[in-house]
Structure 1
């Protein structure tokens, strides 16, 4: 490895555009934010060093052995995958081992665009991802004390807004000027009535200088063609900052070693597929690859490079279709339990379910067939319990190995009770004491584990429908002491109401459309409007732990305490059986 003569940003961008610079499969995806790119350009304009880069010269013979990917030009937060490079293999390339985030940022800023999600808009709304370009204000410095230059990602419409302190110049347009002909920049300044503004002139010329003339891309070049050495170098240089995940290493090795499939594309596309089930999940490559290690019965399931050898990769490739089916069926199953990306608090917790389906060779009819109804209920209860006990927190490899052994030896039915007995008295015990059950009812609206507690309390609901966590007494009533007093709550109960209204004893699970109709109506008013028949009203009360309770909000403290006791007793029956 040797240090090379530095090049300019313009030279680097040309090499990316011509696909001379590419990314190895080992690289993680682009993750920099708009702010990080803006700060990078501020550093460049101020003459700060932006770090060295590490490139790997891949011979035309070696190019055929590995898979490479193009740099992202137009970044879209909802579609972050790099496009696979199609190479003829008749010429050498430069593969970027260190510096992908910085080079991609330069490429996006000068040749592309950045589309990040607008807060509060739905992910499937096209308007949620407006296309933005990097602009530089030619009239005023940045208002931030840490920045000198005002770089911002803006839509073209926003960039047209100008005043005495604002003139936005699209940074990529600097490539339209000939750096050897300064009159072109002068003409631009004159045309836009900026010729007499010293800051504008100085800033635009400086931008041209740092892009075209200053050799600030300092890089080392590795020329060895052995993958093992290159991987070792890559791990070393990526040991700081965002830690390289072993899944990225595995994807690189698998892509080189799988001879029938493209491992990177297979795994990334499969992650996208299972994340689109139901209301969406947040699985990643690490989850899929960890599941592969477990399902293939490898003794060591840790993310170690040694575990991703050619023999193991061959086993995963041979069983990939069955692995996918088992994971997919598992995700479809937990979707029917009401889980999504917000309520599934541990992805690793569903790996034992996938292993059970894999060993039993159960297809997706397991999700719907009446023949498996009791088994599904057993799995659902088990999953809620291990999530609430946080069984897969900490050293999850240890518990996954134990549970895998239990399942392998007990395939007559999902062995939830055997797991409970085997783990009794250990740090991973699935038993609940009275104090733990009390604490479960302290969870609040929208928090991580609230859904699992409510789902245990509502075992008969059909979670194929969308259910909302709903405040029985609307939270809008608890915004101030004055409002509660007006509603008739006794002054001595006010503090109790404000401290507890958001907790589980004031929550219920309601179908989404019913919850929308309920809105912020007083509970008694809504109940009598919607359940005029006494039988229906009593059934509703029975389902929601309201039988025998004094329901007007003026009695909130008594209502809360009695409903809490009903729920605690029910949880004790469920969890201590």
Structure 2
């Protein structure tokens, strides 16, 4: 990495002459006129304005049309401006107004009386002592002539002071700025450098750089890929670029480490073929996840990478599965989600799974995929009630239980209408309801209990409001027993009183473990799996644990969850 100081005007000239270009991964120019004014004010006062980050590479990196007219293209490999586009473009617009690409000039004026930079109104433009900054920035400007033309004679008491102020504006040309030049042909490395140096702006991902590199070899590649991402988003199944590129790389035969897509041996034809296969595979996968797995939107997935194995498999099978395989693939999806299969070593796991899909078939393929997705657990080891202790709405099991409620057509406790993930009526949006309301239990029991997964159910917003802070012993009287059973509420009414809260949790954990075992294709838990003597929390006021848990910050009763669900308690779906 090289670090040098250069004048701002020299860097502006490099931009205008095509020696510095804007890579296609950069965001568009977004500054407003007040931002440009404030930049010049900072430069005039000698304030620091950051550094420029340039990327030097021998790779053919695509660049976008800049917001300035670049009159010439460099005969040599240009430098790519990764950080500083807003500042450099603003200076270019004022220094050479005709370079503004859209033709709408920026009229920035300097008030020599107050030393202020002004975006003038129509009336202010008639003020002769508001000098155009573009004029002041030019080389060999005759400042005394400007003052004389403005009606300020030599013998005016302000003449010398105002001349010095005009000269000070002109000296912005020579303002020194740090220029960092990073030389590398490694896209992944450059992405990491940029991400660390540019946290205040648009964070550049490795996926952005790979997309940019693809566009260098495929003229309409970015438009094609962006159009498909928009299609996914419109279908409520947006997937991040990293996951989509991993699938594309696997289909291109370069492995899940998508940086390999920019290898010299991957030409335009190969990229087009791999991308069209990616679109086809993902359409298969999204339909499978929605239809067979009852996953209504991508946010429910524990990781976007969960979509890759179904996409690969269905692509190789031309969208067809043998009898019984849909259930096995669904079991794999739930297993990968429930045990956070892609939390670590994503590329290595996907590479292994892609090899399995190519090499094996039949039930043996799914057995091995499920074994791998189970992690360190035995593939036939059931979940027990104790496995759900200290699990909250942030845990993947909660997502599976939400899917189970949708699959089971669970109905709202008040309306008796099946809950919907994306209802039209705002009052029907699903909220994560505390069965024992927090307001009634937080003073007597530990947060790890009242905020646990076993105390959460799915109801509509209007029902949640109706229940308010009532205890279940009170509000469940008017709810049909089958409604409660659909959400695995223990049928013993005695468990719904405040003093039986820990017993309610223990009983419901056993029921929830049964639900998860069925979803994951695991054996039923044997006998009573809750911990013997599961004691009531010693958290009543004056107890040994209550003070600690009451110290936890109280979150809002209702916080919006992504795309259509609401929750009470910690972060959820």
Q: TM-score band, normalised by the shorter chain? A: 0.5 to 0.7
Taking a change above 3 Å as real, the CA distance of residues 215 and 546 of structure 1, as seen in their structure-2 partners, is closer
Deviation of 1:353 (Å): 0.9
Map of 1:216 onto structure 2: 177
Map of 2:305 onto structure 1: 348
Report the 3-state secondary structure (helix = DSSP H, G, I; strand = E; otherwise coil) of the residue aligned with 1:6: strand
Taking a change above 3 Å as real, the CA distance of residues 473 and 104 of structure 1, as seen in their structure-2 partners, is same
Alignment pair present for 1:501 and 2:450:
yes
- Work out the CA distance in 2 between the residues paired with 1:33 and 1:414: 58
1:170-319 correspondence to structure 2 within 5 Å: 175=133, 178-179=136-137, 208=169, 211-216=172-177, 218=179, 232=185, 240-242=193-195, 246-258=206-218, 262-278=220-236, 281=238, 283-298=239-254, 300-305=255-260, 308-311=263-266, 314-319=269-274
- Work out the CA distance in 1 between the residues paired with 2:234 and 2:225: 14
Map of 2:511 onto structure 1: 566
Taking a change above 3 Å as real, the CA distance of residues 517 and 419 of structure 1, as seen in their structure-2 partners, is same
Map of 2:85 onto structure 1: 103
Report the 3-state secondary structure (helix = DSSP H, G, I; strand = E; otherwise coil) of the residue aligned with 2:22: strand
Checking the alignment, whether the CA contact within 8 Å between 1:506 and 1:560 is kept in structure 2 is yes
Checking the alignment, whether the CA contact within 8 Å between 1:24 and 1:67 is kept in structure 2 is yes
Map of 1:557 onto structure 2: 502
Deviation of 1:472 (Å): 1.8
Find the partner of 2:64 among 60, 66, 69: 69
Checking the alignment, whether the CA contact within 8 Å between 2:437 and 2:469 is kept in structure 1 is yes
Gaps of 5+ in 1: 74-84, 113-134, 139-155, 157-172, 189-195, 223-229, 482-493, 532-536
Map of 1:475 onto structure 2: 438
Map of 1:419 onto structure 2: 369
Map of 2:54 onto structure 1: 54
TM-score (norm 2): 0.60
Report the 3-state secondary structure (helix = DSSP H, G, I; strand = E; otherwise coil) of the residue aligned with 2:54: strand
Map of 1:78 onto structure 2: none
Report the 3-state secondary structure (helix = DSSP H, G, I; strand = E; otherwise coil) of the residue aligned with 2:300: coil
Alignment pair present for 1:544 and 2:505:
no
Deviation of 1:394 (Å): 1.8
Map of 1:143 onto structure 2: none
Find the partner of 1:404 among 330, 334, 354: 354
- Work out the CA distance in 2 between the residues paired with 1:184 and 1:448: 70
Report the 3-state secondary structure (helix = DSSP H, G, I; strand = E; otherwise coil) of the residue aligned with 1:23: strand
Map of 1:226 onto structure 2: none
Checking the alignment, whether the CA contact within 8 Å between 1:290 and 1:301 is kept in structure 2 is yes
Taking a change above 3 Å as real, the CA distance of residues 50 and 284 of structure 1, as seen in their structure-2 partners, is same
Deviation of 1:505 (Å): 1.1
- Work out the CA distance in 2 between the residues paired with 1:394 and 1:501: 31
Report the 3-state secondary structure (helix = DSSP H, G, I; strand = E; otherwise coil) of the residue aligned with 2:6: coil
Taking a change above 3 Å as real, the CA distance of residues 311 and 101 of structure 1, as seen in their structure-2 partners, is closer
- Segment of structure 1 superposing worse, 176-185 or 520-529: 176-185
Report the 3-state secondary structure (helix = DSSP H, G, I; strand = E; otherwise coil) of the residue aligned with 2:177: coil
- Work out the CA distance in 2 between the residues paired with 1:241 and 1:427: 36
Taking a change above 3 Å as real, the CA distance of residues 427 and 52 of structure 1, as seen in their structure-2 partners, is same
- Work out the CA distance in 1 between the residues paired with 2:502 and 2:299: 30
Report the 3-state secondary structure (helix = DSSP H, G, I; strand = E; otherwise coil) of the residue aligned with 1:542: helix
Map of 2:526 onto structure 1: none
Report the 3-state secondary structure (helix = DSSP H, G, I; strand = E; otherwise coil) of the residue aligned with 2:400: helix
Deviation of 1:478 (Å): 4.2
- Work out the CA distance in 2 between the residues paired with 1:476 and 1:72: 56
Deviation of 1:543 (Å): 1.0
Find the partner of 1:444 among 370, 378, 392: 392
Structure number with greater Rg is 2
Report the 3-state secondary structure (helix = DSSP H, G, I; strand = E; otherwise coil) of the residue aligned with 2:352: helix
TM-score (norm 1): 0.60
Map of 2:534 onto structure 1: none
Taking a change above 3 Å as real, the CA distance of residues 375 and 246 of structure 1, as seen in their structure-2 partners, is same
- Work out the CA distance in 1 between the residues paired with 2:437 and 2:472: 7
Taking a change above 3 Å as real, the CA distance of residues 205 and 512 of structure 1, as seen in their structure-2 partners, is farther
Deviation of 1:510 (Å): 3.0
Checking the alignment, whether the CA contact within 8 Å between 2:244 and 2:278 is kept in structure 1 is no
Report the 3-state secondary structure (helix = DSSP H, G, I; strand = E; otherwise coil) of the residue aligned with 2:458: strand
Gaps of 5+ in 2: 95-107, 112-118, 120-130, 151-157, 197-203, 410-417, 423-429, 524-573
Deviation of 1:267 (Å): 2.5
Q: How many residues align?
A: 449
CA RMSD of aligned residues (A): 5.5
Deviation of 1:545 (Å): 1.6
Taking a change above 3 Å as real, the CA distance of residues 182 and 384 of structure 1, as seen in their structure-2 partners, is farther
Deviation of 1:473 (Å): 2.5
